[in-house]
Amino acid sequence: MAAPFNPESFIAKTIRDIPRSGIREFFDIVQSQKSVISLGVGEPDFVTPWHIREAAIYALENGRTTYTSNLGLLKLREAIAASTEKHFKVTYDPKTQIIITVGVSEALDIALRALINPGDEIIYHEPCYVSYAPSISMVHGVPVAVSCTAHNNFAVTAEAIEKVITPRSKVLVLNFPTNPTGGTMTRTDLLKIADVVLRHNLLVITDEIYSELTFEGEHTSIASLPGMRERTIFLHGFSKAYAMTGFRIGYACGPVELIEAMMRIHQYSMLCASIISQEAATEAILHGETDTAEMRDQYRVRRNFIVNAFNQMGLTCHLPRGSFYAFPSIKNTGLTSKDFALRLLQQEQVACVPGSAFGPSGEGYLRACFATSLDQIQVAMERTARFIKRL
Ligand SMILES: Cc1ncc(COP(=O)(O)O)c(C=O)c1O
């Protein structure tokens, strides 16, 4: 008789070892609770601006329902090239150095798949976006985390990066402003990192998805620093700045050879990003700047409120200079971040993400997304303060 079929045993080992995202795990619980205020998922509460939605509708009306070139619509790549030049001071050839992807998620995945041989070490700063370590493991790379602290406003230092460099180090992943901490970098500090990158012959992947949501100072891309454009893959997308998460659209810019390598993976796995989303993204990048500015102004008001509220209730919270996340310390409560988040959810119906979901250096913190209406944030803070008093 044949052995009983066990689907588990057919799953590749690398995938079996990868845990589910700490955010999703937590939000399965949220779904089952009533009257929860969610400061959880990192998604704008704004609906995509009407003129951008209209561009998608118009594309459909006109029967724009086909594949596009693997690299994406040329007019969108041209608009991206103009935007990176204007906002990031980096020039890319739209014909050969830009690829349109299914969100920054796909861009990150194909960048890693194009670069990593088994055993290569990839350095990134932590706490970090939940997908970095698993994405690195899935391509058989070795994730090497550099811890950042509130003391330094969650910026990463050149010294800390240099300390973990070995002969196997190949890529440095940066994400400023950072999810989940709102950390940003000054140009001076990025120059020091660029120096380390050049001396050790590393390649940089920079995920700048929150760059438009910079509240203080000017955002600098490492790609714009001397000698860096040639060794940087610049990732960006439309999800956060234009409230377009559901369109699933992003892009990567970089050296011709690397974009060509990424395109080969993309053409066999995705073929191309949705043409409807590409039409909408073209409208966004050409005419959406004021929408982004308006949303940023509202996020700023909410940020000031939430940071103040956390500090007043005794949860020390640094000022996030970018992104839409507050990252207060819960260390003085003596609870783990998971216990704290679970109890807050069960007792006061406020959902935040435990800092530990963003790597071991996130333990002792909580991520509260302020891309929610000010009214909701106010109620959530009243409930959290009540919860803290009872501890
Ligand atoms: C740092 C960071 N990179 C990438 C992504 C994924 O973005 P996209 O919707 O473009 O796939 C997110 C989403 O939360 C993020 O926070």
Percent of the chain with pLDDT over 90: 90
Work out the average pLDDT over 208-218.
Answer: 95
Taking 90 as the threshold, does the pLDDT of residue 19 lie above it? no
Kindly report the pTM of this predicted structure: 0.96
- State the distance from the centre of ligand 1 to the C-alpha of 312, rounded, in angstroms: 31
Ligand 1 pocket, residue 237 CB under 6 Å: yes
Is residue 102 in contact with ligand 1, taking CB distance under 6 Å? no
Question: What average pLDDT does the chain have?
Answer: 95
What does the alpha-carbon distance between residue 233 and residue 111 come to, in Å, rounded to a whole number?
8
Residue 142, beta-bridge partner list: 121
Distance in angstroms (rounded) separating the CA atoms of residues 309 and 315: 9
Q: For the segment 84-99, what is each residue's pLDDT rounded down to a tens digit?
A: 999 999 999 999 999 9
Kindly state the tokens that stand for 53.
């939605």
Q: Which atom of ligand 1 is nearest to the CA of 237?
A: 10
Q: How far apart are the C-alpha atoms of 126 and 132, rounded to whole Å?
A: 10
Give residue-wise pLDDT tens across range 102-153: 999 999 999 999 999 999 999 999 999 999 999 999 999 999 999 999 999 9
Q: What pLDDT sits at residue 25?
A: 67
CB 359 within 8 A of CB 125: no
* Closest C-alpha residue for ligand 1 atom 7: 104
End-to-end CA distance of the chain: 59
Q: How confident is the model at residue 391 (pLDDT cuts 50, 70, 90)?
A: confident
Task: State in Å: Cα 357 to ligand 1 middle.
Answer: 15
| C-alpha distances in Å from residue 302, one per residue of 244, 313, 319 | 20, 17, 12
pLDDT above 70 coverage of the chain, percent: 99
Read off the pLDDT of residues 22-80 as tens digits, 9 standing for 90 and up.
677 677 777 777 789 999 888 899 999 999 999 999 999 999 999 999 999 999 999 99
Beta-bridge partners for 253: 98, 234
Compute the distance from residue 333 Cα to the ligand 1 centre, in Å. Answer: 31
According to the model, what pLDDT value does residue 301 have? 97
